[in-house]
Chain A
Amino acid sequence: DSGVTQTPKHLITATGQRVTLRCSPRSGDLSVYWYQQSLDQGLQFLIQYYNGEERAKGNILERFSAQQFPDLHSELNLSSLELGDSALYFCASSVASQGNLNEQFFGPGTRLTVL
């Protein structure tokens, strides 16, 4: 158990719908990262938040958005879903102290299926 929790574990929805994935980082971790794992694209970075603020953006679609709340949990919102959005979505967290290399701990992932 990495200490990072993600809900729900599985999500099945229809095209055009909107879903919200939730992530709770390890206690004390300030950074949250979202990654998408699909057969086509492999594992790719979507977005990072650090202490409530957006820190970096990767290959995140405009239909996707995220935020990190004051209690440091994060939500990834996916809207106007398409079949190609079906993937495993990982959240990772890190204490991210400057000057040190800190491991990113991954949650168990949310499996999204768009029908």
Chain B
Amino acid sequence: AQTVTQSQPEMSVQEAETVTLSCTYDTSESNYYLFWYKQPPSRQMILVIRQEAYKQQNATENRFSVNFQKAAKSFSLKISDSQLGDTAMYFCAFMKPDYGGSQGNLIFGKGTKLSVKP
């Protein structure tokens, strides 16, 4: 069974600085997908960034980038130029592809609560 571990329950960062959230996972699959979701106080789940395991290039989305280390089973999220609106819970998630015509479900870590301070 796959597991996702986020070892940092809480983190804080000053506005405009850079912060890195850690995530490790365990799987015997060779092909899979990894995600970072953001959950602000509104509780809405928002996809931040995704990475396909067969792609060696790290994904980037504006101020968000990942450091994907497949051999180490590590998938960290870097937020550059942190903004107050980045304050939220961040969840790392794993998904195994389902080749039967649909797609697999998400397996989430416990989350990291990020506070951006002015």
C-alpha gap A106/B48 in the complex (Å): 13
For residues 41 through 66 of chain A, which have their beta carbon under 8 Å from a beta carbon of chain B? 42-45, 48, 50-51, 55-56, 58
Q: Which of B98, B105, B110 contacts A42 (CB 8 A)?
A: B110
Majority DSSP secondary structure for residues of A touching B:
strand
Q: Which of A44, A102, A103 contacts B108 (CB 8 A)?
A: A44
Min CB–CB distance A45 → chain B (angstroms): 4
A-contact bits for B94-118, CB 8 A (1 contact / 0 none) = 0001111111111111110000000
A-contact bits for B29-49, CB 8 A (1 contact / 0 none) = 000010000000001111100
Question: Cβ of A109 < 8 Å from any Cβ of B?
Answer: yes
Question: Cβ of B15 < 8 Å from any Cβ of A?
Answer: no
Min CB–CB distance A48 → chain B (angstroms): 5
Cβ of A43 and Cβ of B108 under 8 Å apart? Answer: yes
Min CB–CB distance B45 → chain A (angstroms): 4
Majority DSSP secondary structure for residues of B touching A:
loop
Cβ of A45 and Cβ of B50 under 8 Å apart? Answer: no
Cβ of A108 and Cβ of B105 under 8 Å apart? Answer: no
Q: Which of B43, B44, B104 contacts A56 (CB 8 A)?
A: B104
Min CB–CB distance A91 → chain B (angstroms): 11
Question: Cβ of B52 < 8 Å from any Cβ of A?
Answer: yes
Query: In the complex, which residues of chain A have a beta carbon less than 8 angstroms from the beta carbon of B91?
Result: 43
Query: In the complex, which residues of chain A have a beta carbon less than 8 angstroms from the beta carbon of B50?
Result: 101, 103
C-alpha gap A88/B39 in the complex (Å): 12
Query: In the complex, which residues of chain B have a beta carbon less than 8 angstroms from the beta carbon of A103?
Result: 47, 50
Query: In the complex, which residues of chain B have a beta carbon less than 8 angstroms from the beta carbon of A44?
Result: 108
A-contact bits for B63-74, CB 8 A (1 contact / 0 none) = 000000000000
Query: In the complex, which residues of chain A have a beta carbon less than 8 angstroms from the beta carbon of B47?
Result: 103-104
Cβ of A30 and Cβ of B102 under 8 Å apart? Answer: yes
Query: In the complex, which residues of chain B have a beta carbon less than 8 angstroms from the beta carbon of A48?
Result: 102, 105
Query: In the complex, which residues of chain A have a beta carbon less than 8 angstroms from the beta carbon of B111?
Result: 42-43
Q: Which 6 A-B pairs have the closest CB atoms?
A: A106-B45, A50-B102, A43-B108, A45-B105, A96-B102, A96-B103
